[in-house]
Structure 1
């Protein structure tokens, strides 16, 4: 049975967006046209591909099976196009990266800008969200994670380890009771994650300090850092954030010192896509250098 690749493109867009309107926006088609194309594809296949409701379009088991094949075909076409255009020189096209907002705010802007400086035809999109990205639905081409994935058709490369410490501004410390032991933290305002929105066990930092209550909470690292910047309390802060906080000082560094790891995760079907391989190589090297540079600055400042 022959298929129109345009129908596959529509199928992939709806599978990833789970919405006719969102898929239509991505494809520059009106939702009614998208719906007709999906209906035509299902009619040709003799099988429904989606569970349809007022909430949207969600792949059923038949749709999941087709998605795996359609994704591989999409990857093969992209690889063929790259080879025909001889992309042995500069990188081009769009690369979308999903990342927790700590790295997205304090590391990736300068790293990605440097890669784009060397590759003027390249466009980089950073999706900064504190959650796990679904690479099978192509929410991103690659994602930074804090844990190595254990399921799915994914491949992971270790980027680098990084350090975190308990910290507060000098102004906060000067105006509050001294902190000499961990138990002294109970008399202080603690900043951290909203407990039921912790998206990865690796960000459950305060569990390692014995603190059981957070007064100021956010699912965003940027919000937490800005509270620290304003002298609102103490928080576990990435060392690579500290150079942006002029008055920050580590607290109990000999007792509260954490190490975590960044991984770069990609879909296994992209393993042979040379453009993404080359970008990943430059990206990993850039993040490693930037973490080392910023942590060195933090060590000299505190």
Structure 2
């Protein structure tokens, strides 16, 4: 049995995207070609790698074992290419970064744009999703999380601490009156997460205030932020986001303040991939610098 690398690339893309069409877009191939190559790989190997359901393509047990091995091979190939290209030069190729949408909207655009400015042949993709990324399935090359994972073969490093406060727009406060103490919150419209869609306990901000009813709720930080900016109510906001909304101000800063952390998470197999390690170092430095700069403006 001899597997073709083009077929393995298609297998990896389908395993990560759980869809022929999404895998095709990733590889710039049509979905039918991706499907044929996966079918050829299964025929050559004599095993079924995926089961198909209305939700998409899921790895079988054999597929999961194969994924472990070929992901390592992919990382080794990347390391070899880095070595042959010469270390220390400009970064190139494509890097996909997963992140919660708060970081993805207010920190990563300027940080990653700066990295690409210095490395013109580099392509950075930011996947902004309010959930934990599965790096074992290679949904991304690396991810930012709000708490360190406790399981998996992962490299985890702390990026930065960041602060959050209650905030409201001047428009809202002008209509509904000042907020003089935490006891006043019951009389105000609150904005926050959909309770059963909080994917990490670190994000249960309003729970720390004992607030049970959320009048305007979303699983997206950006939606919450825009509600606050438009005068919808009171909510907990990242300090680093506040410079993007001059009409929004913090309230009750002495009574309520939170400190949370961002963590950079990578797959352990990528430890020796020079290109990813260099990008991770630039990203870490950039995020720390940007959090500090933006928080000083609030």
Q: How many residues align?
A: 298
Q: Are the equivalent residues in 1 in contact too, given 2:3–2:45 (CA < 8 A)?
A: no
Partner of 2:172: 172
Please say which of residues 73-82 and 8-17 is displaced more in the overlay.
8-17
Query: 2:271 matched to which residue of 1?
Result: 271
- Give, in angstroms, the shift of residue 86 of structure 1: 1.1
Name the CA shift for 1:110/1:49 in 2 (closer, same or farther; >3 Å).
Answer: same
1:16 alignment partner in structure 2: 16
1:147 matches 2:147: yes
Aligned counterparts, 1:2-41, within 5 A: 2-41=2-41
My pick for the range that moved more, 11-20 or 184-193, is 11-20
Instruction: Give the Cα separation in 2 of the matches to 1:172 and 1:26.
Output: 43
**Over aligned residue pairs, what C-alpha RMSD do you find?**
1.7
1:64 equivalent to 2:50? Answer no
Q: CA deviation at 1:193?
A: 1.0
Q: Which stretch shifts more, 99-108 or 42-51? A: 42-51
The structural deviation recorded for 1:28 is 4.0
Match of 2:291 in 1: 291
In the other structure, the counterpart of 1:82 is 82
What CA deviation, in whole Å up to 9, does each residue of 1:255-295 have, x standing for no partner? 11001000011111111110110011011011001100111
How far apart, CA to CA, are the structure 2 residues paired with 1:238 and 1:28? 37
For the structure 1 residues 196 and 75, does the alpha-carbon distance in structure 2 shift closer, same or farther, using more than 3 Å as the test?
A: same
Superposed CA deviations along residues 150-179 of structure 1, whole A, max 9, x for unmatched, are 112211110011000011123322332432
The TM-score with structure 1 as length reference comes to 0.93
- TM-score, normalised to structure 2, is 0.94
Q: Distance in 2 between matches of 1:231 and 1:33?
A: 50
Distance change in 2, residues 1:23/1:255 (3 Å):
same
SS in 2 for 1:175: helix
- What residue ranges of structure 2 are gaps of 5+ in the alignment? none
Q: Note if contact 2:165-2:250 (Cα within 8 Å) is conserved in structure 1.
A: yes
Distance 1:13 1:120 in 2: 25
Q: Where does residue 257 of structure 1 map in the other structure?
A: 257
Q: Distance in 2 between matches of 1:175 and 1:281?
A: 46
Q: What pairs with 1:177-188 in structure 2 (closer than 5 Å)?
A: 177-188=177-188
Residue deviations 1:207-251 (CA, integer Å, cap 9, x gap):
111211111111111111112112221110110011122122221
Deviations 1:48-68 (A, max 9, x none): 222234543211111111100
Quick one: structure 1 residues 175 and 19, their matched pair in 2 at CA, closer, same or farther if it must change by over 3 Å?
A: closer
TM-aligned CA distance change 1:90 to 1:180, over 3 Å: same
* Aligned match of 2:95: 95
| Structure 1 unaligned residues grouped into runs of 5+ | none
Distance in 2 separating the partners of 1:193 and 1:142: 25
C-alpha distance after superposition, 1:12-50 (max 9, x if no partner):
122222223333343344444433333332233232222
Deviates more, 1:55-64 or 1:181-190: 55-64
Distance 1:59 1:254, change over 3 A: same
